[in-house]
Chain A
Amino acid sequence: MILKMIACSVVLFSATAAGFVIAGRFSGRVRDLRLIQEGLKMMESEILFTSTQLPEALLNTSAKLEAPLDRVFVHAAQILEGRMGYTAGEAWNLAFEKYLEALCFNKEDLEIIRDFGKSLGSTDKANQEKNFRLARLQLSSQQVKAEEDRGRNERMYKNLGFLLGVTIIILLI
Chain B
Amino acid sequence: MYTYDKTMDREKNRYPGEGISKGRYRFILESVPISIRSLLSNLSIDELDGIEEFRLKVDAPLMVYGSGFNAFVTEDGRLSKQKTRAYVVTEEDASKALQLMCNCSLYSIEDDLRSGFITIRGGHRIGVAGKVVTDGGRIKTIKDISSLNIRVSREVLGCAGSVIPYLIKDRTGVYNTLIISPPQCGKTTLLRDIIRQLSGGVPSLGFEGIKVGVVDERSEIAGCYKGVPQNDVGIRTDVLDACPKAQGVMMLIRSMSPVVIATDELGRPEDLTAVGEAVNAGVSILTTVHGWGRDDAARKPVIGELLRDGVFERIVVLSRKRGPGTIDEIYDGALGKKISVSGGGVG
Spell out A's residues near B (CB within 8 Å): 47-48, 51-57, 59, 80-81, 83-85, 87-88, 91, 120-125, 128
Contacts and interface: CB of A to CB of B under 8 A. Distances in A.
Given A56-B1, A81-B1, A85-B100, A123 B107 contact: yes
Contacts of A48: 107
A55 B34 contact: no
A52 B37 CA distance: 26
Contact of A123 (B1, B100, B103, B106): B106
Contacts of B96: 85, 87
B141 interface: yes
Contact of A52 (B95, B106, B108): B108
Contacts of A87: 96, 99-100, 104
Interface string B1-25: 1000000000000000000000000
A74 B107 CA distance: 21
Contacts of A80: 103-104
B107 A128 contact: yes
B104 A55 contact: yes
A70 B200 CA distance: 46
Interface in B109-150: 110, 141
Given A56-B1, A85-B34, A87-B96, A125 B104 contact: no
B217 interface: no
Contact of A91 (B1, B33, B102, B104): B104
B30 interface: yes
B110 A121 contact: no
9 contacts: A54-B104, A54-B105, A85-B34, A85-B96, A85-B100, A121-B104, A121-B107, A122-B106, A125-B107
Most interface-central of B34, B95, B105, B106 (chain A CB within 10 A): B105
A55 B2 CA distance: 10
Contacts of A84: 34
B34 A53 contact: no
A54 B103 contact: yes
A92 B95 CA distance: 17
Given A121-B104, A124-B106, 8 more contacts: A52-B108, A53-B105, A55-B1, A84-B34, A85-B33, A120-B104, A123-B106, A124-B107
Interface of B: 1, 30, 33-34, 37, 95-96, 99-100, 102-108, 110, 141
Contact of B108 (A51, A83, A91, A120): A51
Given A53-B108, A54-B104, A80-B104, A88 B1 contact: no
A48 B108 CA distance: 9
B103 A55 contact: yes
Contact of B99 (A52, A56, A88, A125): A88
A10 to B, nearest CB: 49
B107 A51 contact: yes
A55 B1 CA distance: 10
Contacts of A128: 107
A125 B30 contact: no
A51 B112 CA distance: 13
Contacts of B95: 122
B158 to A, nearest CB: 31
Nearest to B34: A85
A51 B227 CA distance: 14
A28 to B, nearest CB: 30
Nearest to A125: B107
B174 to A, nearest CB: 37
A123 B98 CA distance: 11
Nearest to B27: A83
Nearest to A50: B108
A154 B141 CA distance: 50
B145 to A, nearest CB: 11
A48 B104 CA distance: 15
Contact of A124 (B1, B34, B141): B141
A73 B37 CA distance: 27
Contacts of A125: 107, 110
Closest 10 CB pairs of A and B: A88-B104, A85-B34, A121-B104, A53-B105, A51-B108, A54-B105, A83-B30, A125-B107, A54-B104, A53-B103
